[in-house]
């Protein structure tokens, strides 16, 4: 089964490919010859995930999926949330986003946070949504050189290791993206049986 993954983020591709296995032929936007920066104009993760898959489905009429992810920090009323990619401003780096996050949390006792991923898949024109949540906390300084985005400062519940210190396989045991992808794989497997 051929599926386009509507993302420009190679880290997401690596993580999802790792989980989805070889049963599905997953094409990135680049591999499908599509060169666009898909807008994320909405104020919820769900709506932005939908936007991305709908734009690509309209363009290609091929089964496709997207995902949108946000880091929600309790003491910051859920920020950066939907603005996770551009928290420090448009065009700024992930490291700038982390610097802003740590600065906003300076002296704050409650460090609890969660990652939320929503996958939107469109099969034969019909959309289905799958969510994955990973609860954890924001630490005071960066740890590890692995992962991407906020991984160096996020420690999931159930371990003392930051995502930044984990291999892909270790991150999979905890991650929001792995949980959402597992739901997607179950759905696709059932579809193939039916």
Stretch that binds ligand ITT, among 17-25, 135-143, 144-152, 182-190 (CB under 6 A): 144-152
Site membership for ligand ITT, residue 147 (CB under 6 A): yes
Total residues contacting ligand ITT by CB under 6 A comes to 19
> How far is the C-alpha of 36 from the C-alpha of 29, rounded, in Å?
8
Nearest distance in Å: CB 40, ligand ITT: 6
Site membership for ligand ITT, residue 9 (CB under 6 A): yes
Residues 56, 64, 85, 119: which binds ligand ITT (CB under 6 A)?
85
Cis peptide before 80 (omega within 30 of 0): yes
| Whether residue 68 lies in the annotated active site | yes
> How far is the C-alpha of 45 from the C-alpha of 71, rounded, in Å?
10
Site membership for ligand ITT, residue 164 (CB under 6 A): no
Nearest distance in Å: CB 175, ligand ITT: 6
173: three-class secondary structure by DSSP: coil
Q: Phi, psi at residue 100, to the nearest 5°?
A: -65, -40
HSE at residue 140, side-chain half, CA atoms within 13 A, is: 4
Beta carbons of 188 and 31 less than 8 angstroms apart: no
Nearest distance in Å: CB 114, ligand ITT: 12
Catalytic one of 68, 110, 124, 172: 68
Residues 57, 65, 150, 174: which binds ligand ITT (CB under 6 A)?
150
Looking at the Cβ atoms of 120 and 175, the one nearer to ligand ITT is: 175
Q: Strand pairing partners for 60?
A: none
**Could you tell me where the beta strands, DSSP code E, fall in 17-172?**
25-28, 64-73, 80-81, 112-123, 126-138, 154-156
DSSP 3-state percent helix, strand, coil across the chain (nearest 5) = 40, 25, 40
Site membership for ligand ITT, residue 7 (CB under 6 A): yes
Site membership for ligand ITT, residue 57 (CB under 6 A): no
Q: Which residues are near ligand ITT by CB under 6 A?
A: 7-9, 12, 40, 68-69, 84-85, 94, 115, 147-151, 163, 175, 177
Annotated binding site: 7-12, 68-69, 148-151, 171, 176-177
């Amino acid at each position: 089964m051929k599926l386009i993954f509507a993302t420009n983020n190679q880290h997401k591709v690596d993580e999802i490919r790792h989980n989805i296995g070889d049963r599905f032929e997953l094409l990135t936007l680049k591999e499908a010859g599509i060169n666009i920066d898909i807008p994320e104009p909405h104020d919820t993760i769900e709506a932005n995930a939908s936007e991305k898959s709908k734009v690509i489905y309209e363009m290609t009429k091929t089964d496709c999926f997207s995902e949108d992810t946000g880091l929600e920090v309790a003491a910051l009323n859920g920020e950066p949330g939907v603005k996770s990619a551009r928290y420090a401003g448009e065009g700024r780096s992930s490291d700038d986003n982390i610097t802003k996050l740590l600065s906003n949390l300076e002296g704050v006792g409650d460090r609890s946070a969660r990652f939320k991923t929503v996958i939107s898949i469109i099969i034969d024109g019909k959309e289905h949504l799958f969510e994955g949540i990973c609860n954890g906390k924001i630490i005071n300084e960066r740890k590890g050189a692995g992962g991407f985005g906020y991984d160096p400062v996020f420690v999931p519940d159930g371990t003392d290791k930051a995502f930044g210190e984990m291999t892909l396989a270790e991150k999979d045991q905890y991650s929001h993206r792995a949980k959402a992808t597992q739901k997607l794989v179950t759905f696709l497997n059932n579809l193939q049986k039916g």
